[in-house]
Structure 1
Amino acid sequence: MKISIIDRDYKKALRRPFFALSLLFLSFFTGTTFYALVEGYSLIDAAYMAVITISTVGYGEILPLSQDGRLFTTLYIISNLIIIAFGVSTLTSYLFGGEMNHLLNRYKMSREVRKLKNHVIVCGLGRNGIKACEELSKAGTPFVVVESSEEVLERFPFNIGHQMILGDATADHILIKAGILYAKALITTLPSDAENVFISLTSRELNPKLEVIARASEESSEKKLIRAGANRIVKPDTLGGYHMAQLITKPLVVEFIDTISGVTEEDMQMEEISYDQLSQKYQSHTIEELDIRKITGVSVLGTKKDKEKFQFNPSIHTKIEESTTMIIIGKTKEIEKFKKVYCK
């Protein structure tokens, strides 16, 4: 699907053709008024004289014009040549320059965004925002991008059929246009902590059930983001420094984590499978009864029930009960086999 951009306002996109039509109407009104009031034409004759003068068809005068009338008509013809040239240029640009298709695409995209539910909103297309979009795309999660720079949107490095909105994510109407009332999560990756705080506060107010994940640059911003409504805080600079130090102190551990998190090109991935995702016949069984590793090759790394702590390397007697989620790891084909065998 072609990437399209939804502008802040359709009036902006229609400004030039609307301005051209306004000039043409104003010219017609001016000419009709002059010929009727100054030259004494009837209203119909005055309108007809204005039309044939605007169109420069070369018809003669309906009634003899005064000196003032001839001077006005001369200037009227010259000004209308400019107006017509501008109008033709604008119409040609919209019909043959792709602007009309671009406008229709925006309208289509805005309708598709309004239909979205349980999607993710990504605010900002910096390095972190682009990476978040890549991961959401890999997972098949629908998302909407909000970015204030049209140049940045046009440089977006991959085409994955998502929706994109050009606008300021701190504005309520932009977030509403992105479908925040029906979204399940929002990721704000703007470089300014103040803007991330404001977006967290606004989005929490608009949708109290929203999962808000915010980027923080300064340590002092973490508490502010939490008070503003962010559920989770990510500090890329801190994580980067920690990761680099771990490459020296625990290189094999980092290599293992990179492998299972998809950073490397190894064919390994992790997945979380909830109780509700399992087929009914596999619900409320122990890991031993499910025999997951033997059937699919997938390993269960951990389980979590409700708000309890993670249980790492669970025993084979752990029962997958309601509100329990499993963290599994395996190769891509093994994960796919697991979903085919055990999931609905």
Structure 2
Amino acid sequence: MPEPSQGREVSTPQAIMALRRRLYSSLSLLVLVVIISSAGFYVLNRPHESAREGVLLGLWETMNLISTVGSLPEEHMGDAQRVWAMFVIAVGLGFTLYAFGNLIALLTSGEILHVFETRRMERQITSSKDHVIICGYGNTGRLVAERLASQAVPVIVIEKEHDLAEAATNHGYLTIRDDCTQESVLKKARIERARGLVATLDNDAANVFVVLTARGLSRELHIVSRANLPETVSQLERAGANQVAVPSRIAAQQLANAAIRPDLNRFVQRAIHGQEVEMLEVRISDYPAMAGKSLRELNLPRAVDLLVFAMIPKGGTLAFNPEPDTVVNEGDLLLTAARKGAVERLKPFTET
């Protein structure tokens, strides 16, 4: 796996191992200095009443020198001890300061905090469900993430480029810096528990590969892809995309509608972007209190200020402007338009 970028994104095992190596090497250097210095004093201070006394004395003299908080009794020191003490001061103290400096740098650089933070993020991704995976965090991917976040939909971003991955993490999204065309990376994003995947890469061939890989991992996943070229749409659909969007075509349609039907286009755009009016998919399985009742009984326009303009029965096809006596059942889907805040107003229907 590539190395992680900075910010709140998933770290790699290599980064954690590198941090551990720096910690272990610093601690090992400290221990080595103490052992060598103590051994030197043990040999030079002989004879000892006991080996235990010699070891403790050597350790005591070493700690006095390298900590600079004490001094050695010169009246009991010979030339050999003085030479060894100078060596310990010159070399041992230098190594000790280097080791402590390394440890302080680790503690103050934020690397340790970053490791703990990214470990926490990994646990969040592991426990994620009912989320949308966004492949690519370019301009399109960023706008998709913003729109989903505004609807309180959990998002996991997969982005290979360092700067874009860092931007995604700084914007608060769970981010995996890696290649989204890899099966293992999509598994890491918990694709089996995701509600959808959006492929927004600039390269159509890469989008086809992402869609093909994702469909192979999940037959039920709802997959939406960007197509830069209209002729790529059929390839993406054959690869398994449920819906394909061509930005240039969408822009052309919107411009044409704005030119000939400006008021209707303005209303639709407001509804799409959730300004004053919002368009919602109401799944009856999410609102069990609606099941078994007719649209007349539910009286949604008056009860929650919501208008049903189409319905897709379970296993059926779209029916525009369903009759008031139409009974809705679990598995049915209502296509609606409502004033902003309809999700909150629909909450009473979530209880049976």
TM tier relative to shorter chain: 0.7 to 0.9
Give the secondary structure class of the aligned counterpart of 1:7: coil
2:111, 2:26 → 1: CA distance? 21
2:182, 2:66 → 1: CA distance? 45
Identity of aligned residues (%): 23
Shift of 1:180: 1.8
Alignment of 1:141-152 (within 5 A): 141-152=153-164
Change (3 A) 1:55 1:222: farther
Give the secondary structure class of the aligned counterpart of 1:6: coil
Which TM-score applies when normalising by structure 1?
0.77
2:78, 2:112 → 1: CA distance? 40
Q: Which residue of 2 aligns with 1:262?
A: 273
Change (3 A) 1:76 1:172: farther
Q: Which residue of 2 aligns with 1:317?
A: 325
Q: Which residue of 2 aligns with 1:271?
A: 280
Give the secondary structure class of the aligned counterpart of 1:254: helix
Q: Which residue of 2 aligns with 1:106?
A: 118
Change (3 A) 1:44 1:200: farther
Q: Which residue of 1 aligns with 2:295?
A: 287
2:228, 2:179 → 1: CA distance? 20
Shift of 1:184: 2.3
Deviations 1:178-216 (A, max 9, x none): 222322221121222232223223322333332222212
* In the alignment, structure 1 residue 236 sits paired with structure 2 residue 247: yes
2:325, 2:86 → 1: CA distance? 101
Q: Which amino acid aligns with 2:265?
A: V
1:223, 1:53 → 2: CA distance? 77
Shift of 1:68: 11
Q: Which amino acid aligns with 2:282?
A: I
Shift of 1:253: 3.0
Change (3 A) 1:67 1:104: closer
Q: Which residue of 2 aligns with 1:213?
A: 224
1:191, 1:62 → 2: CA distance? 77
* In the alignment, structure 1 residue 193 sits paired with structure 2 residue 204: yes
Q: Which residue of 2 aligns with 1:85?
A: 101
1:184, 1:334 → 2: CA distance? 21
Change (3 A) 1:101 1:177: same
In the alignment, which of 14, 19, 22 is matched to residue 19 of structure 1?
22
1:335, 1:182 → 2: CA distance? 23
Give the secondary structure class of the aligned counterpart of 2:149: helix
Alignment of 1:12-91 (within 5 A): 12-13=15-16, 15-16=18-19, 18-25=21-28, 28-29=31-32, 64=80, 78-91=94-107
1:285, 1:62 → 2: CA distance? 102
Q: Which amino acid aligns with 2:183?
A: D
Shift of 1:134: 2.2
1:99, 1:261 → 2: CA distance? 42
Which TM-score applies when normalising by structure 2?
0.75
Q: Which residue of 2 aligns with 1:119?
A: 131
Change (3 A) 1:15 1:252: same
Q: Which amino acid aligns with 1:7?
A: V
1:144, 1:223 → 2: CA distance? 27
In the alignment, which of 144, 149, 157 is matched to residue 132 of structure 1?
144
In the alignment, which of 327, 330, 340 is matched to residue 335 of structure 2?
327
1:67, 1:170 → 2: CA distance? 64
Shift of 1:304: 0.8
1:336, 1:89 → 2: CA distance? 50
Change (3 A) 1:289 1:30: closer
CA contact (8 A) 1:28 1:51 kept: no
Give the secondary structure class of the aligned counterpart of 1:220: helix
Q: Which residue of 1 aligns with 2:9?
A: 6
CA contact (8 A) 2:7 2:169 kept: no
Give the secondary structure class of the aligned counterpart of 1:273: strand
Q: Which amino acid aligns with 2:10?
A: D
In the alignment, which of 242, 248, 251 is matched to residue 262 of structure 2?
251
In the alignment, structure 2 segments of 5+ residues that lack a partner are: 1-5, 45-50
In the alignment, structure 1 segments of 5+ residues that lack a partner are: none
Shift of 1:9: 0.8
Give the secondary structure class of the aligned counterpart of 1:191: coil
Q: Which residue of 1 aligns with 2:310?
A: 302
Aligned length: 332
Give the secondary structure class of the aligned counterpart of 1:164: strand
